[in-house]
Copies of this chain bind each other. A is one copy, B any other.
Amino acid sequence: MGRVWSVDLPNHVGRHVVIAGWLLRLRRLSQVSFLIVRDGRGTMQAVLDDPALIEQVAALPAESVLRLEGEVVNTPQAPRGVELRGEKIEVISEASAPPPFELHRPEIAAQLPTFLDHAAVGLRHPRHRAMFRLAAASVAGFRETLHAEHFVEIFTPKLVATATEGGANVFAVDYFGKPAYLAQSPQLYKQTLVGVFERVFEVGPVFRAEPHDTPRHLNQYASLDVEMGFIEDHTTVMALLERTIAGMLSSVQQTGRDELELLGCELPEVPVRFPTIDFVEAQRLIHTATGEDVLGEPDLAPSHERWLGEWAAREHGSEFVFVTGYPLVKRPFYTHPDPSRPGQSNSFDLLFRGLELVTGGQRLHRYADYLAVLAERGQDPAPLAGYLEAFKHGMPPHGGFALGLERWVARLVGAANVREATLFPRDMQRLTP
């Protein structure tokens, strides 16, 4: 007899089936026992009235793995309106101890560090599991959107000889006795590969040795990276990002209905065009509204991003807002200047619900421009030779963006800490599990 998934049980009413999964909860009443069983896709209820079966499971710790045979019957008060009348039970694998927290409660009653220490069990909680299904759905939508626009998926080195995004905050690796670093981004490779495929994307880990212990920083995260050639300027990239976000949300909506409901999560509206505000104009607004002396500062603080998020919601009814024209001085060397405003750049950040989610922009594409900017910054071009070769041999105007998957999911589901949206987070203190 083939096994039936929890989510498919309603299609089997009146039939004898096999189910399998983990014992989420056992409730013993006087004549019957109810089992809530979790399988890979959902939870389901089984009921036992045979005293022998009731006895068989009476002492089982939660999370034991079971196989049950029985008839599927309609039961309005059970999950999905059906339950299994158990006729035969096999204990596939008995848990050695009760779980460190009760997984059948609506929320796990543990502080975040305790939860993370016991991730192997904590992630089994339906709410937590749901977040990662939404992450997977988001990535699927990301890829689908880009495939449809002829982007090619790439896999680039994570061990590099030079720091990608500037000298600080890199993890050092001993590479057969030679110094190496973990890649902070696939930036140099994705640009190089615009020369090959024009349009590329990568979904992969990036590593930041930033000594920041905040609810929004991770030292490894999944970066959704995109780069495309033959753009007009950064606005071509922003339009692509709008379509990509729409594709991600559409995938989440289509495949994550149960998860969104479980999490009580409202997806944001996606305006056809996201509201956009220039960096200098944003500073003026913040200054006027808050009195804070932000004019002339080279970057926005988290509190300013929050303010802009509220402003965009209020003024434009949008949970997304682009900030464009960041000062060149705070952007990496490959950033393309704004031709009409020296000192400003053809770059953008996308804020989502008041937090920077995406950074992107147009890159320099002329070989001479790279040599000039590196000379200006006093940076030796020699270690970048393999990258600069792409520009030496013809590159179109191009640009791209990078989106942090965990931040995206955390914002989407309203998690207070990005670590909740990371299967096994890495931070300054945490290297296990």
The chain A residues found within 8 Å of chain B, CB to CB, are 3, 5, 20, 22-23, 39-41, 61, 63-65, 92-97, 99, 117-121, 123-124, 129, 132-133, 135-136, 139-140, 143, 147, 150, 152-161, 171-176, 178, 180, 182, 189, 192-193, 195-199, 203-205, 207, 209, 211, 219-220, 222, 229-230, 365-368, 383, 385-387, 389-397, 405, 423-424, 426, 428, 431-433
Contact = CB atoms under 8 A, between A and B. Distances in A.
B392 A95 contact: yes
Identify the interface centre among A157, A178, A196, A366: most chain B CB within 10 Å of its CB: A196
Contact of A124 (B94, B135, B196, B204): B196
Given A120-B386, A136-B154, 13 more contacts: A39-B198, A40-B198, A63-B393, A63-B394, A93-B365, A132-B196, A143-B143, A158-B158, A158-B205, A159-B426, A161-B432, A171-B175, A204-B204
A428 to B, nearest CB: 5
Contacts of A159: 171, 182, 207, 219-220, 426, 431
Given A367-B96, A394-B22, A386 B180 contact: no
11 contacts: A40-B150, A40-B197, A65-B395, A92-B397, A93-B397, A96-B367, A159-B207, A176-B211, A176-B428, A204-B205, A387-B433
A96 B189 contact: no
A23 B396 CA distance: 12
Nearest to A5: B150
Nearest to A230: B20
A310 to B, nearest CB: 31
B189 A423 contact: yes
> How many protomers of this protein does the assembly include?
2
A172 to B, nearest CB: 5
B95 A161 contact: no
Contacts of A230: 3, 20
A99 B174 contact: no
Nearest to A365: B93
A65 B391 CA distance: 11
Contacts of A154: 132, 136, 423
Given A3-B230, A124-B196, A393 B96 contact: yes
A204 B186 CA distance: 13
A348 B3 CA distance: 25
A20 B207 CA distance: 36
A174 B172 contact: yes
Contact of A121 (B61, B220, B365, B393): B393
A346 to B, nearest CB: 16
B120 A389 contact: yes
A13 B182 CA distance: 49
B178 A173 contact: no
A431 B175 contact: yes
